[in-house]
Amino acid sequence: MLEMFGLIMPEIRRTLYPSLVKGFDEGANQDHHQVMICNTDNSIDKQGNIILQLMDKGVAGVAIVPTTYAPTPVQHIRYLQSNNIPVVFCHRSVEGVDAPCISWEVEDVGRIAGQAFIDHGHKDIMYFGVYRYRISQAHEHGLREVLQKNGLSLPENRVLYGPPADEEDEDAEKERMLRDVFKRKDRPTAILCSDDTEAERVYWIATQFGLKVPDDLSIIGFGDVHRDTVFRKQLTSVALDELELGRKAAGLLCQMCNGDKAVECDDTYYMQLDLFRGNTLKRM
């Protein structure tokens, strides 16, 4: 067996993923495992091919962030386990498969952000998701829940999802949608974005309309506690330690390879969420 772990991800550049790679590499190196980074481009077919290639190479273990466009087939993971290759899920699991998962309470992203907006006097609040899938919809649900508890609502015209990332002119369509929002007389005073990348987009489009952040518009994103750009150090965001999540994933694989933990188990480990207090949230 090759003393190497595979890390399979839908992409490698966006928000959480760079820290996941770094943390996973650090954790694997502690047990003298090298790391192979695999990018599926959020494609089920490519994910399946990568899994077959990793099996052929005889890797010691695999951590995977499953695709979001379509459910991962159970057999993708069972192929690995039936060949004595342990699997750890990161961010989200695959229904019908017993393997440990490291995640967070996804609806809490919406709850934490919503409460922060309310505490700062905001009532006209909007949710902007990268596209519609399980985690972005959970953000929306958590936001709606905390607003309703405080006598507020999240009407449909205050919920916006971008098109799937594989759609032609995806970025242009998102910008068009946001421009329509900022043209309204009843535009929101606060927007929760599904991740920090979309928060950057909202910030940029808002400034093109002459809006000042946070004086005219408060923005909260979602991402990593390790703020790796000048903008993200200024952005208020619900954040988790993705570097530590990566380390934990590698550590679990090491335990499973050493026989200290069962290969097939349904343990779930939850990362803590906190509000990173940048400069894009202001009291009304």
For residue range 192-227, list pLDDT tens digits in order. 999 999 999 999 999 999 999 999 999 999 999 999
**Predicted confidence band of residue 180 (pLDDT cuts 50, 70, 90):** very high
Q: Answer whether 127's CB lies under 8 Å from 110's CB.
A: yes
**1, pLDDT greater than 60:** no
Over 90: is that where the pLDDT of 250 sits? yes
Q: What is the pLDDT of residues 113-153, one digit of tens each?
A: 999 999 999 999 999 999 999 999 999 999 999 999 999 99
Paired with 4 in beta bridges are: 34
Helix axes 17-30, 242-257, angle to 10 degrees: 40
Q: What are phi and psi of 183, to 5 degrees?
A: -80, -20
Is it the case that residue 101 has pLDDT exceeding 80? Answer: yes
- At residue 38, φ and ψ (nearest 5 deg) are -125, 125
Q: Please say whether the beta carbons of 167 and 200 come within 8 A.
A: no
126: enclosing H helix or E strand: strand 125-129
All CATH 3.40.50.2300 domain ranges of the chain, comma separated, are 2-104+240-273, 106-238
Beta-bridge mates of residue 102: 90, 269
Q: How many CA atoms lie within 13 A of 170 on its CB side?
A: 12
Per the prediction, the chain carries an average pLDDT of 94
Q: Is the backbone peptide bond immediately before 10 cis, with ω within 30 degrees of 0?
A: no
Cα of 179 vs its chain's centroid, Å: 25
Confidence at 164, pLDDT banded by 50, 70, 90: confident
Place of tokens 């899938």: 133
Partnered with residue 240 across adjacent β-strands are: 224
Count CB atoms within 10 A of the CB of residue 13. 9
- For residue 165, the model assigns a pLDDT of 67
Q: Are strands 236-240 and 274-276 parallel, antiparallel or unpaired?
A: antiparallel
> 103 — phi, psi (to 5°)?
-145, -155
- For residue 13, the model assigns a pLDDT of 85
CATH T-level fold of 2-104+240-273: Rossmann fold (3.40.50)
* pLDDT reading at 12 higher than 60: yes
Give me the pLDDT at residue 69, please: 84
Q: In this predicted structure, what is the pLDDT of residue 14?
A: 83
- How confident is the model over 9-32, as a mean pLDDT? 93
The answer regarding whether domain 106-238 maps to CATH 1.20.140.10 reads no
User: Looking at the DSSP assignment, which residues form a beta bridge with residue 167?
Assistant: none
* Confidence (pLDDT) at 2: 65
Over 80: is that where the pLDDT of 26 sits? yes
